[in-house]
Amino acid sequence: MNVSKRVLDPIDRVTEVLFGLIMVLTFTGSLSVATAGRAEVREMLVGALGCNLAWGVIDALFYLLGILAEKGRALATFRRLRAAADPQEGQRVVASALPPLVASVLDASQLEAMRARLTALPDPPERPHLGAKDWKGAFGVFLLVVLSTLPVAIPFILVHGDAHRALRLSNAVAVAMLFVCGYATGRLTRYHPWWTGLAMVVLGSGLVAMTIALGG
Which residue has better confidence, 77 or 34? 77
For residue range 47-65, list pLDDT tens digits in order. 888 888 888 899 899 999 9
Residue-level pLDDT at 171: 79
In a domain, 104, yes or no: no
In a domain, 23, yes or no: yes
Residue-level pLDDT at 3: 41
Residue-level pLDDT at 72: 92
In a domain, 114, yes or no: no
pLDDT band at 212 (very low <50, low <70, confident <90, very high): low
Range of 68-72, 157-161, 171-175 with top mean pLDDT: 68-72
Residue-level pLDDT at 216: 47
Closest CA to 69 of 134, 144, 114: 134
Range of 2-16, 28-42, 88-102 with top mean pLDDT: 88-102
In a domain, 19, yes or no: yes
In a domain, 184, yes or no: yes
In a domain, 107, yes or no: no
For residue range 122-140, list pLDDT tens digits in order. 888 888 889 899 999 899 8
pLDDT band at 205 (very low <50, low <70, confident <90, very high): confident
In a domain, 154, yes or no: yes
In a domain, 190, yes or no: yes
What is the C-alpha to C-alpha distance for residues 197 and 188, in angstroms, rounded to an integer? 12
Residues 6+ apart with CB under 8 A from 93: 77, 80, 81, 84, 115
Q: Which residues of 56-65 are buried (b: 16+ CB within 10 A; e: fewer)?
A: beebbeebee
**Residue 27 domain boundaries:** 10-73+130-213
What stretches of 73-182 adopt beta strand conformation (E)? none
The three state secondary structure string of 137-151 is HHHHHHHHHHHCHHH
pLDDT of 5 > 60? The answer is no
What is the number of domains present in the chain?
1
What is the C-alpha to C-alpha distance for residues 12 and 5, in angstroms, rounded to an integer? 11
Angle between helix 149-158 and 10-28 (nearest 10)? 40
